[in-house]
A and B are shown apart, each in its own frame.
Chain A
Amino acid sequence: KAGVTQTPRYLIKTRGQQVTLSCSPISGHRSVSWYQQTPGQGLQFLFEYFSETQRNKGNFPGRFSGRQFSNSRSEMNVSTLELGDSALYLCASSQGQPSYEQYFGPGTRLTVT
């Protein structure tokens, strides 16, 4: 099976702009989660989607949003970018229940200037 894919891999944006990141889960996986990784805060949970519904959300401002499509592909959007949004954004897919493993994609490296 192909693994989790994320596009784009690298992105440079200017403060105030918005950005959309994409994630395609492993075939058959219906759950997609997003995480932000920074040197200061480490890995932090953003949100999780299952069958197009957001089931869980982390402690991030409303500028961070996401959605999932009927084919389980997911996008996350960050509006009004701030310098502090520079991070590695990781997507993970899973079969859906907490007892299952989560498999991560290679990440999108976002730099905000």
Chain B
Amino acid sequence: SQQGEEDPQALSIQEGENATMNCSYKTSINNLQWYRQNSGRGLVHLILIRSNEREKHSGRLRVTLDTSKKSSSLLITASRAADTASYFCASRGSGYALNFGKGTSLLVTP
């Protein structure tokens, strides 16, 4: 069952701008993972942040985690047209299932 919510549902920006997506979840987590999906294809793993971490970087990606607010954010800096995709956060508790949010659809225009 879906546990999280992403905000906004859709985001349109121009190349070079930064894109910020937020995610909320409901129960305690072991970690939270962010994925990208292009046009109904497979999910590409972007980054994993553990419950004891507050911030993590990977290239142009920056993820933050606030366990007290049960929320996370994904920042993509200097966006490119190739970043156009849907972005999902997925929380993982002590079990083995990922609980996905509904995703944010990002459109980056040249």
Contacts and interface: CB of A to CB of B under 8 A. Distances in A.
- Most A CB within 10 A of own CB, among B48, B97, B98: B97
Contacts, number: 70
B98 A102 contact: yes
A74 interface: no
B41 interface: yes
Interface in A58-113: 58-59, 88, 90, 92, 98-99, 101-107, 109
B110 interface: no
Interface residues of A, number: 28
B4 to A, nearest CB: 10
A51 B33 CA distance: 24
Interface in A29-82: 31, 33, 35, 41-45, 48, 50, 55-56, 58-59
Interface of A: 4, 31, 33, 35, 41-45, 48, 50, 55-56, 58-59, 88, 90, 92, 98-99, 101-107, 109
